[in-house]
Amino acid sequence: MRLDKFLKVSRLIKRRTLAKDVCDQGRVEINERTAKASSNIKVGDSISIRFGQKIVTVKVEEIKENARKDEAASLYTVIGEVPVPRDEKEEDEYLRA
């Protein structure tokens, strides 16, 4: 299944077009490699998504073409959520404010 479709079906991202945009911005990785929206995923893959100030990493548990809202969370397991590391310039500006 395509990455953008999985992100939509699993409800990690609400719309497929938004999932495509996030992938095009380089904010999604599959198994620690930057991924395109058209990348194929399989069970066992690790997906990392940068949402604003945090990075969420999930493991693909199941792939379905369609999933009800109550089934969507069973398609993946959250491995971790970590804050986005700040670069030094950004950190200096933050400390001066």
CATH assignment of the domain containing 68: 3.10.290.10
Residues 6-47 pLDDT 10s: 999 999 999 999 999 999 999 999 999 999 999 999 999 999
How many angstroms from the chain centroid is the CA of residue 27? 7
Q: Given pLDDT bands bounded at 50, 70 and 90, which one contains residue 56? A: very high
Total of domains in the chain: 1
Which residue in this structure is represented by tokens 């409800």? 11
Q: Give the range of the structural domain holding residue 76, as residue numbers without chain letter.
A: 3-96
pTM: 0.82
Question: Residue 79: what pLDDT?
Answer: 95
Question: Which whole-number Å values give the CA distances from 60 to 8, 21, 90, in the listed order?
Answer: 13, 21, 33
User: Percentage of the chain surpassing pLDDT 70?
Assistant: 88
Question: Residue 87: what pLDDT?
Answer: 63
Question: Residue 53: what pLDDT?
Answer: 87
d(CA 97, CA 78): 35
- Report which secondary-structure segment, H or E, holds 77: strand 76-83
37, 13 Cβ separation under 8 angstroms: no
Question: Could you write out the DSSP letters of every residue in 26-67?
Answer: T-EEETTEE--TT-B--TT-EEEEEETTEEEEEEE----S--
Is residue 93 scored above 70 in pLDDT? no
